[in-house]
Structure 1
C-alpha cells in the first residue's frame, strides 16, 4: 500500500482512532507520511498511540471534540507547529442516525448528527483552508468521507441524509472558491462499510423505516457489498498527489461496490 507520493507529507484525519479513519491513518504512516489524528474516544486513542509507537515522532493523537471550534483550531495550529505544514485533511468523523424520518427525529438527534457530520466538517475545512492559505507553498487537499446518502433520498434517516447532502454542498463550494489557489476539495460517496459508525444501532433502530430503506434498494449482502477499508484508504493515498486532486477538484467519487447499482 505504500506510495512515494505521500512520503513526507502531513495528513490530518478526524475520527482517526478507529474504523476507516484508523485504516487511512495507518496507510499514510506506512507510506512515510506524518499523521495527526483526533477523536473523541479516549480509549481508542490510547490503543492507537500504543500500536503506532514504532513510528516514533511521525504522529500526533489528541482527544478533541470536532464541534468545538476553539479545540479544532488549537489542534490544527499544533500540527502545523510540529510538522511545518499540512498537506491533506481527511474529514472522516461521522455518526449515523437510527433511520428516523423527519416526523420522528428528535431535535437532540438532529442537532447531534448535523453537529458532527456537517458542522464538524465545516470547522475542520475552515481550519484547513486557513492553514493552506498561509503556509509556503500555498495549497492542500481536503477529502470528505461522504456517503451514497449525499445523493440519494432513502438510504438512511432524515438527519444523516441531510447532513451528507449538506457536506456535498460544502465540498463543491470549497472547490469552486479555493481551487484556483491550489486548494482542492473532493467527496467520497461511500457505500456500506464495517466501521464504528454502526455503533449508533446498539441502542435500537427504527425497524419500520429500515425496512422501507431495504425495500427501496437492491439486497445488501455484507460479504459481497461491504467496501474493504484498505481499498478505501488507497483512494486517499492516490488523492494526496496534488495533480490527482486538482483533476478531480469538486468531484463526488463513488466508492460503493456498485451498491445501489448505478
Structure 2
C-alpha cells in the first residue's frame, strides 16, 4: 500500500525539499499552499527528478511516488477540513506552513501582524493536525505521524521577533499534546527545530542580522536537503517509535549561549 504524506507550505523552500524527499522515498505526496503556481512547480520538480531517476511514463521513477498540489489556506478551518476530508488516508502530516512579521520591538508590533503570525503558525498547524488526527483514527490500519516544523525560536528568541517566537514556543505545547493524545492510537508527533537552513527566508543571514547585543553579524546556514532527509527518516520509522523533538542547525550559529 502506497503511503500518503501531506506537506503544508510545500510550494517553496523547506516544504518543497521535504516533498521531493518524501516522493523519492515512494510516498504519494500532497503539497498545499496559497499559490497554485508554486505548488505546480514543486510537482513538476518531482516529475522531472523521477524521470531523471529512470522512470518511464506516469511520473514515477525507480521507487518514486508522485506529488500533487492543492491550494489551501491553513488558517481557514472549513477549507482544511474539506481538504483532509477528501483524502482516503494519511500516514504523515508535515506541518510546515509558517510566516514571520516585520522586525519590531514589543511596543511597535502591530496587532494585525501578531494575529497573522499566530493564525498561520499555530492555529493553522492545529487545524491541520486536528483534521489529520481524525482521519488517522478512522483509517484502516489506523495511526500515523505528525511532524511539526518548530524552530530554534521555539527555545530562544531573536531580537524584535516576539510574535514568531511566541508562536513557535506554542508549537512545542501542540506537539506534546498531540503525542499524548495519540499514544493509545498509534499516532506519534515530532517537532523538528531548524536553525538557519539555507532558503529564501534565511538569505538575509548572508548580509548579517541583528544580535542581542545590538551588533549585526553574518550567520552560517546549511543545506535544507539535510532537513528533508531527517523528515523522511522519521516518517519511515514504525509508529512504535517516537521522536518527540529533533534539533538540526548550522554549526556555529548563535543558539547555545544566545543572548
Equivalent residue for 2:56? none
Deviation at 1:257, TM superposition (A): 2.5
Equivalent residue for 2:183? 179
Deviation at 1:106, TM superposition (A): 0.2
Aligned equivalents of 1:38 and 1:253: distance in 2? 24
Equivalent residue for 1:73? 81
Equivalent residue for 2:133? 129
Equivalent residue for 2:54? none
SS of residue paired to 2:238: helix
Cα RMSD of the aligned pairs, angstroms, is 2.5
Equivalent residue for 2:31? 37
The one-character-per-residue Cα deviations of 1:31-57 (angstroms, maximum 9, x if unpaired) are 111000111122212323333445268
Q: How does 1:218-237 map to 2 (within 5 A)?
A: 219-221=217-219, 225-237=220-232
Moved more, 146-155 or 229-238: 146-155
Aligned equivalents of 1:230 and 1:133: distance in 2? 31
- Find out whether 1:25 has 2:19 as its counterpart: yes
- Find out whether 1:87 has 2:91 as its counterpart: yes
Match of 1:59 among 67, 71, 78: 67
Moved more, 49-58 or 102-111: 49-58
- Relative to the length of structure 1, the TM-score reads 0.82
Contact preservation (8 Å) 2:10, 2:33: yes
Cα distance change of structure 1 residues 185 and 177 upon mapping to structure 2, 3 Å threshold = same
Aligned equivalents of 2:201 and 2:102: distance in 1? 11
Moved more, 154-163 or 119-128: 154-163
Match of 1:255 among 248, 256, 259: 248
- Of structures 1 and 2, the one scoring higher in RCO (CA 8 A, sep 6+) is 1
Equivalent residue for 1:246? 241
> Runs of 5+ in structure 2 lacking a partner?
52-58
> Runs of 5+ in structure 1 lacking a partner?
1-6, 202-206
Q: How does 1:162-177 map to 2 (within 5 A)?
A: 162-177=166-181
Aligned equivalents of 2:182 and 2:119: distance in 1? 24
- Relative to the length of structure 2, the TM-score reads 0.83
Aligned equivalents of 1:137 and 1:24: distance in 2? 24
Number of aligned positions between the proteins: 238
Deviation at 1:216, TM superposition (A): 8.3
Cα distance change of structure 1 residues 132 and 96 upon mapping to structure 2, 3 Å threshold = same
Aligned equivalents of 1:10 and 1:254: distance in 2? 25
Cα distance change of structure 1 residues 198 and 229 upon mapping to structure 2, 3 Å threshold = closer
